Amino acid sequence: MIPHEKGQMSAFDYRNFDDRRKNSASAKQMLLEKFKARPPADDPEMIAKAEARAAVARAREERAREREAARIAAERQAAEEKRAREEAELAAQIAREEAEALAAAERKAAELAEKKAARDARYAARKAKARR
Protein backbone atom coordinates (compact mmCIF):
# COMPACT_ATOMS: atom_id res chain seq x y z
CA MET A 1 0.00 0.00 0.00
CA ILE A 2 1.33 3.43 -0.97
CA PRO A 3 0.84 5.83 1.99
CA HIS A 4 0.38 8.97 -0.10
CA GLU A 5 -2.04 7.59 -2.63
CA LYS A 6 -5.39 9.33 -2.55
CA GLY A 7 -8.03 7.52 -0.55
CA GLN A 8 -5.52 5.17 1.06
CA MET A 9 -4.28 5.27 4.66
CA SER A 10 -1.23 3.58 6.08
CA ALA A 11 -1.67 1.17 8.98
CA PHE A 12 -1.29 2.73 12.42
CA ASP A 13 1.99 1.77 14.07
CA TYR A 14 1.20 1.13 17.73
CA ARG A 15 4.83 0.63 18.69
CA ASN A 16 5.66 4.25 17.86
CA PHE A 17 2.61 5.45 19.77
CA ASP A 18 3.64 3.49 22.88
CA ASP A 19 7.20 4.83 22.57
CA ARG A 20 5.97 8.41 22.31
CA ARG A 21 3.63 7.92 25.27
CA LYS A 22 6.45 6.47 27.41
CA ASN A 23 8.83 9.28 26.38
CA SER A 24 6.19 11.87 27.26
CA ALA A 25 5.54 10.30 30.64
CA SER A 26 9.25 10.11 31.44
CA ALA A 27 9.76 13.75 30.42
CA LYS A 28 6.91 14.81 32.71
CA GLN A 29 8.39 12.76 35.54
CA MET A 30 11.82 14.39 35.01
CA LEU A 31 10.26 17.86 35.12
CA LEU A 32 8.46 16.96 38.35
CA GLU A 33 11.69 15.68 39.90
CA LYS A 34 13.53 18.80 38.80
CA PHE A 35 10.80 20.97 40.36
CA LYS A 36 10.92 19.00 43.63
CA ALA A 37 14.76 19.13 43.73
CA ARG A 38 14.97 22.91 43.69
CA PRO A 39 15.79 24.59 47.02
CA PRO A 40 12.98 26.14 49.07
CA ALA A 41 12.27 29.88 48.94
CA ASP A 42 13.67 30.53 52.44
CA ASP A 43 17.05 29.00 51.53
CA PRO A 44 19.85 31.56 52.20
CA GLU A 45 21.33 30.97 48.76
CA MET A 46 17.99 31.65 47.09
CA ILE A 47 17.51 34.77 49.22
CA ALA A 48 20.98 36.00 48.22
CA LYS A 49 20.23 35.40 44.52
CA ALA A 50 16.90 37.24 44.81
CA GLU A 51 18.61 40.18 46.52
CA ALA A 52 21.28 40.26 43.80
CA ARG A 53 18.58 40.27 41.09
CA ALA A 54 16.74 43.06 42.92
CA ALA A 55 19.97 45.09 43.18
CA VAL A 56 20.62 44.66 39.46
CA ALA A 57 17.04 45.71 38.70
CA ARG A 58 17.38 48.81 40.93
CA ALA A 59 20.67 49.75 39.23
CA ARG A 60 19.05 49.28 35.80
CA GLU A 61 16.12 51.49 36.80
CA GLU A 62 18.50 54.14 38.17
CA ARG A 63 20.47 54.16 34.90
CA ALA A 64 17.22 54.48 32.97
CA ARG A 65 16.19 57.45 35.15
CA GLU A 66 19.60 59.07 34.61
CA ARG A 67 19.34 58.58 30.83
CA GLU A 68 15.85 60.06 30.86
CA ALA A 69 17.03 63.06 32.91
CA ALA A 70 19.96 63.57 30.53
CA ARG A 71 17.64 63.35 27.52
CA ILE A 72 15.26 65.90 29.05
CA ALA A 73 18.15 68.23 29.87
CA ALA A 74 19.48 67.92 26.31
CA GLU A 75 16.04 68.64 24.87
CA ARG A 76 15.66 71.65 27.16
CA GLN A 77 19.09 72.97 26.15
CA ALA A 78 18.33 72.42 22.46
CA ALA A 79 15.02 74.27 22.85
CA GLU A 80 16.78 77.16 24.62
CA GLU A 81 19.44 77.34 21.89
CA LYS A 82 16.74 77.27 19.21
CA ARG A 83 14.82 80.06 20.96
CA ALA A 84 18.00 82.17 21.26
CA ARG A 85 18.83 81.54 17.59
CA GLU A 86 15.31 82.49 16.52
CA GLU A 87 15.45 85.66 18.64
CA ALA A 88 18.79 86.58 17.05
CA GLU A 89 17.39 85.94 13.55
CA LEU A 90 14.33 88.04 14.36
CA ALA A 91 16.49 90.89 15.68
CA ALA A 92 18.67 90.71 12.54
CA GLN A 93 15.57 90.73 10.33
CA ILE A 94 14.15 93.75 12.17
CA ALA A 95 17.49 95.56 11.85
CA ARG A 96 17.57 94.75 8.10
CA GLU A 97 14.03 96.00 7.62
CA GLU A 98 14.79 99.20 9.55
CA ALA A 99 17.94 99.75 7.47
CA GLU A 100 15.97 99.16 4.27
CA ALA A 101 13.26 101.58 5.41
CA LEU A 102 15.90 104.19 6.28
CA ALA A 103 17.62 103.71 2.92
CA ALA A 104 14.27 104.01 1.14
CA ALA A 105 13.50 107.19 3.06
CA GLU A 106 16.94 108.60 2.17
CA ARG A 107 16.44 107.69 -1.50
CA LYS A 108 13.02 109.37 -1.49
CA ALA A 109 14.45 112.49 0.18
CA ALA A 110 17.30 112.60 -2.37
CA GLU A 111 14.81 112.12 -5.21
CA LEU A 112 12.62 114.92 -3.86
CA ALA A 113 15.68 117.17 -3.51
CA GLU A 114 16.66 116.38 -7.13
CA LYS A 115 13.17 117.16 -8.36
CA LYS A 116 13.14 120.41 -6.37
CA ALA A 117 16.54 121.37 -7.77
CA ALA A 118 15.34 120.59 -11.31
CA ARG A 119 12.12 122.55 -10.71
CA ASP A 120 14.06 125.49 -9.26
CA ALA A 121 16.44 125.40 -12.23
CA ARG A 122 13.49 125.48 -14.67
CA TYR A 123 11.92 128.31 -12.69
CA ALA A 124 15.18 130.27 -12.63
CA ALA A 125 15.64 129.69 -16.39
CA ARG A 126 12.10 130.90 -17.05
CA LYS A 127 12.67 134.02 -14.92
CA ALA A 128 16.01 134.70 -16.61
CA LYS A 129 14.36 134.37 -20.01
CA ALA A 130 11.56 136.73 -18.98
CA ARG A 131 14.01 139.42 -17.79
CA ARG A 132 15.78 139.69 -21.10
The CB density around residue 84, as the number of other CB atoms within 10 Å, is 10
In a domain, 110, yes or no: no
Q: Are 10 and 3 in contact (CB under 8 A)?
A: yes
Q: Is residue 98 part of a domain?
A: yes
Separation of alpha carbons 91 and 83, rounded Å: 12
DSSP, res 40:
P
Could you give the CA distance from residue 99 to residue 62 in angstroms, rounded to a whole number? 55
17 occurs within a structural domain: no
Residue 63 lies in a domain: yes
pTM exceeds 0.85, yes or no: no
**Inside any domain, residue 68:** yes
What does the alpha-carbon distance between residue 21 and residue 40 come to, in Å, rounded to a whole number? 31
Is 81 contained in some domain?
Answer: yes
CA distances from 57 to 47, 50, 61, 63 (A): 15, 10, 6, 10
Range of the domain at 75: 39-105
pLDDT one digit per residue (tens) for the chain, 132 residues: 445 556 666 665 666 878 888 889 999 999 998 888 777 778 888 889 999 999 999 999 999 999 999 999 999 999 999 999 999 999 999 999 999 999 999 999 999 999 999 999 999 999 888 887
Whole-number pLDDT of residue 1: 43
Between the alpha carbon of residue 106 and those of residues 45, 92, 100, 103, 114, the distances in Å are: 91, 21, 10, 5, 12
Total number of domains constituting the chain: 1
Residue 96 resides in a domain:
yes
